[in-house]
Structure 1
Amino acid sequence: MRTLVIGDIHGGYRALEQVLDKAKVTVQDKLIFLGDYVDGWSESPQTIDKLISLSEKQECIFILGNHDLWCKLWLTEGKSNPIWLAHGGKETIDSYIKTGLITSKKHLNFFESLKNYYIDFNQRLFIHAGFTSMHGVTREEYQSNYYWDRTLLETALLAEELPSKKIENKMPQRFTHYKEIYIGHTPTTNYKINEPIFAYNLINVDTGAAFKGKLTILDIDSKEFWQSDVLTKLYPNEKGRN
């Protein structure tokens, strides 16, 4: 059995189908999704349908992303905001209305079940964005950091660049609690990188599927990964998120 982690999908259902096929995923594989399943491309409801279907056949862990929280608030309470609408929310609303899945109980249950983070038996942490507490995710932490923080990635990238003699090979304290940390949220394409970023014990698997990048699925043991085509190729008549 493999454990595979999947980066931010952002309504790119076709990319999800493609990477699952490329990785030859079977029902024996455990799948961990890092959040942001919606907002961007036109198939957010279809993406959620696919995730629900996968969870009925095999072990799946679903992490809450900031876009999922926005969508959840809209589906459950009718709440929206200009920031969400400008960053893929309008496309998600339109697609839910078009598909008629706006009242789907399965979809509501899916969004209600999303986890803030997941820690496996090998002390590997899976979280959408990050955390700021030196004590780890379970103490002295604002919940919103789990799906908004970018400082964890920034710290890992900066620490990776420091000469080891200056820091005496001492890992920044936030990283010492976990064997590995897997995140999404910040596209690696922001750094002009099209593949997962490895820095210290942190791995960023968001390779820009919301924009002009690809969707990535990664084996956490072998570190082998597979990627979809760029989303603009899969959705040639759409712009995705700006």
Structure 2
Amino acid sequence: MKRTLVVGDIHGGFKALQQVFERANVTENDKLIFLGDYVDGWSESSKIIQFLIELSEKQECIFIKGNHDAWTEDWISLGDAPNVWLSNGGKSTVESYADYSLEDLNLHLEFFQRMKNYYVDEENRLFIHAGYSSMHGPEKEVYSSNYRWDRTLWETAVAMDKKLSKNSNLYPKRFLLYNEIFIGHTPTLYLGIKHPVNKANIWNLDTGAAFTGNLSIMDVDTKEFWQSDPLPSLYPNEKGRNN
């Protein structure tokens, strides 16, 4: 039976990605949706991108662009390396590309350029890295950077009264546009939780792989999920984004 699996923020943790694929028994029959932030953090960012390029040739994959992916794209294409990026994991990404040829760098650049800002499936489920602020949905967003940076969507869901039903006039209108919304970007560790979190009709799959948490993959239909070991245990001689 074909599954649709959604993958949270990876942040250079290739070992974690391999581990969750094995634990979820991912096969070529599965449709994979990645929520972005493949790079910046642990030491294997370039390996992840190469793996994903090859993976997309074997099975159906949707790649959403995260804010860290946009930073890396700018570095490869324009040479931009702002300090805010380098100090938030970018340095490890630059180092991971040290031995890459210009030809290989260009192949990776094309991969970043093909990533989507968001994706809506046939079940009217939205997949986006961070969120959107427009009550008319992401297609009406004034600032495209919100796809990769907005936290108000998740903050609103976290702050909502649990008793508030979809029939209430106070239920956020932008939530009602989709049956479900899957995001990353804001670690669930901020809530003291290490697994995927559901608030209102939003699922947050960023379980802190960039820091002390795990990488998570979820079946979007059954909500069964699998996790890697904590990333610091997979990279004991590294700091990830904890420096």
TM-score, scaled relative to structure 1: 0.95
Residue by residue over 1:138-164, the C-alpha shift from the partner in whole angstroms, topping out at 9 and shown as x without a partner, is: 1143100000000000001111x3543
For residue 207 of structure 1, what is the amino acid of its counterpart? T
Q: Report deviation, 1:198.
A: 0.1
One-letter code of the match for 2:198? F
Q: How many residue pairs were aligned?
A: 239
The equivalent of 2:95 in structure 1 is 94
Aligned partner of 2:113 in structure 1 is 112
Counterparts of residues 69-80 of structure 1 (less than 5 Å): 69-80=70-81
Bigger mean CA offset, 47-56 vs 59-68: 47-56
Partner of 1:241: 241
Same amino acid, percent of matched pairs: 58
The runs of 5 or more residues in structure 2 that have no matched partner are none
- Partner AA of 2:150 in structure 1: D
Per-residue deviation, 1:169? 7.5
Q: What does residue 58 of structure 2 align with?
A: 57
Aligned to 1:229: 229
**Mapping of 1:1-242 within 5 angstroms?**
1-97=2-98, 99-100=99-100, 103-104=103-104, 105-159=106-160, 161-164=161-164, 168=168, 171-242=171-242
Q: SS where residue 69 of structure 1 aligns?
A: helix
Residue 103 of structure 1: CA displacement?
A: 4.3
Structure 1 residues 116 and 2: alpha-carbon distance in aligned structure 2, compared to 1, 3 A threshold: same
Point out where structure 1 has 5 or more consecutive residues left out of the alignment.
none
CA contact under 8 A between 2:164 and 2:171: conserved in structure 1?
Answer: no
Q: Is the CA contact (8 Å cut-off) linking 1:131 and 1:141 kept in structure 2?
A: no
Displaced runs of 4 or more, over 3 A: 162-165, 167-170
Shift of 1:102: 5.8
Over 3 Å counting, the alpha-carbon distance change for 1:102 and 1:237 in structure 2 is farther
The amino acid of 2:229's aligned partner reads: D
Partners of 1:75 and 1:102 within 8 A in 2: no
Calculate the aligned-residue CA RMSD, in Å.
1.4
Amino acid at match of 1:238: E
Question: Could you state the TM-score of these two structures normalised by the residue count of structure 2?
Answer: 0.95
Deviation per residue, 1:187-223 (Å, 9 max, x gap): 0011110001101110000000000000000000000
Distance in 1 of aligned mates of 2:196 and 2:24: 16
